[in-house]
């Protein structure tokens, strides 16, 4: 088989896969867009003043467990830090990016 025919068959295969999985690709893109939107909302809330999970949850109108998941993820990637405690709750604050 020549290189040109291999390239063409690979291109055809990729085209068929894109067509077969277009719905899941669209759903995944929508999911990531929603996640970025939530992260942006959370960052705007904790940018100037540290907040607890319940405070952030109330501000973004999401359940506390979902906000905790987002904050934990953002902490893992260095976007937020714990900056003290308020009673039994850690305070989360946006990290200043250079």
Domain extent, residue 13, equals 3-94
Quote the number of domains for the chain.
Answer: 1
Residue 75 is part of a domain; what is its CATH number? Answer: 1.10.10.10
pLDDT digits (tens, 9 = 90+) for 22-77: 899 899 999 999 999 999 999 999 999 999 999 999 999 999 999 999 999 999 99
Q: Report pLDDT for 98.
A: 60
**SS (HEC) of the chain:** CCHHHHHHHHHHHHHHHHHHCHHHHHHHHHHHHHHHHHHHHHHHHHCCCCECHHHHHHHHCCCHHHHHHHHHHHHHCCCEEEEEEECCEEEEEECCCC
């Amino acid at each position: 088989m020549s290189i040109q025919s291999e390239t063409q068959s690979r291109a055809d295969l990729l085209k068929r896969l894109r067509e077969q999985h277009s719905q899941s690709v669209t759903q995944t893109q929508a999911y990531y867009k929603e996640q970025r939107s939530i992260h942006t909302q959370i960052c705007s809330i904790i940018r100037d003043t540290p907040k607890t999970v319940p405070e952030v949850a109330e501000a973004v109108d999401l359940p506390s467990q979902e906000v905790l998941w987002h904050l934990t993820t953002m902490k893992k990637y260095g976007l937020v830090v714990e900056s003290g405690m308020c009673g039994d709750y850690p305070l989360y604050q946006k990290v200043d990016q250079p």
